Amino acid sequence: MTSHGDRPTPTGAPTVRDRARGALIGAGLGDAVGAVFEGGPPVPDPALDAVLDGDAPLRFTDDTALTMALARSLVEVGDLDPDHLAAAFVDAYRADPGRGYGSGMRHWCDQVGRGVPWAAAAAGQFGGRGSFGNGAAMRVAPAAVLAISDPFRALRLAATQAAVTHAHPVAVDGARVQAGAVVDALGGPTVPDPVPSGTRPAMVAAARTRATTPELAAALARLAELRSPTPLDVVRAVGSGVSTAEAVPAALAAAVWGGPDVVGSIRFAVAMGGDTDTVASMAAAITGARCGASSIPAALCARLEGATVLGLLADDLLAAGTRPVR
């Protein structure tokens, strides 16, 4: 039993604190494992086994660095203050720019750091269209933990934090959908009901009701038509790249069909290839929220850079969520 979460209750269900820690630690673990294979083709089991069964440290990327920055800002403010969050993102980037930040985020941080308003920096990305990349969705788990008892607030927080860096509607939509999946998992059954062949998984159905942009809604509709898919089936249906309309459905698929635990969802996500660190991070945030940090093998937690910090941030988010909103 890992020390990063509470022991399960006598009924076998993880505690709220364990689930909250599972969401953040799971996100960090998926990021760190997936980072080994990022940008490559589908990953065979032996290659992934070598990473999971090894003893090398698991180093997180910008995905987790920004997740931590969002968590700290939410804790300090007790809610979401876009100006405070923008400064937190710039500080995180400047403190350790070698975490694998994409060109869009680097440019945004450079502009905001020079005094450009965050909204203008976000709106100016990609010829004025704004970024539709998955960066706003990959970091959103802390919003779900803060608003664990209020799913509608979690969606509002997700959209607001997304807009700080991503002006494109699909990126904002994907952050809402991902936050909704995490907050549902935080309050849902420990082990998902089996997905009978020929039925639509409840998680995918819920995501479709939240999607508001045609691009993401269409991808989720294609995902809903799959029946017990392999990772390659998911890639053919929705992709597994850096765009939000690919990464968010791919992460949901890994959380649904990757098995009942964090490692299973990471396996499925990494097996798809593509943007493996972000897809695995989002998938493992969902399964971690469902199963708790205590379900993650202790050996993996011990190797994960920042695992203790992520657990403590989850505790702080739960505490901040009980304070009156300013």
Q: Are 291 and 13 in contact (CB under 8 A)?
A: no
Query: Would you write out the chain's pLDDT as a tens digit for each of its 326 residues?
Result: 344 445 455 456 789 999 999 999 999 999 999 999 999 998 899 999 999 999 999 999 999 999 999 999 999 999 999 999 999 999 999 999 999 999 999 999 999 999 999 999 999 998 899 999 999 999 999 999 999 999 999 999 999 999 999 999 999 999 999 999 999 999 976 655 556 555 558 899 999 999 999 999 999 999 999 988 999 999 999 999 999 999 999 999 999 999 779 999 999 999 999 999 999 999 999 999 999 999 999 999 999 999 999 999 999 999 998 766 55
pLDDT at 153: 97
pLDDT at 10: 45
User: What ranges do the domains of the chain cover?
Assistant: 16-321
The count of C-alpha atoms lying within 13 angstroms of the C-alpha of 240, restricted to the half-sphere facing its C-beta, is 35
In Å, how far are 7, 17, 94, 258, 322 from 316, measured between CA atoms?
A: 19, 10, 24, 30, 10
CATH code 3.50.50.60 for 16-321 = no
Amino acid residing at 3: S
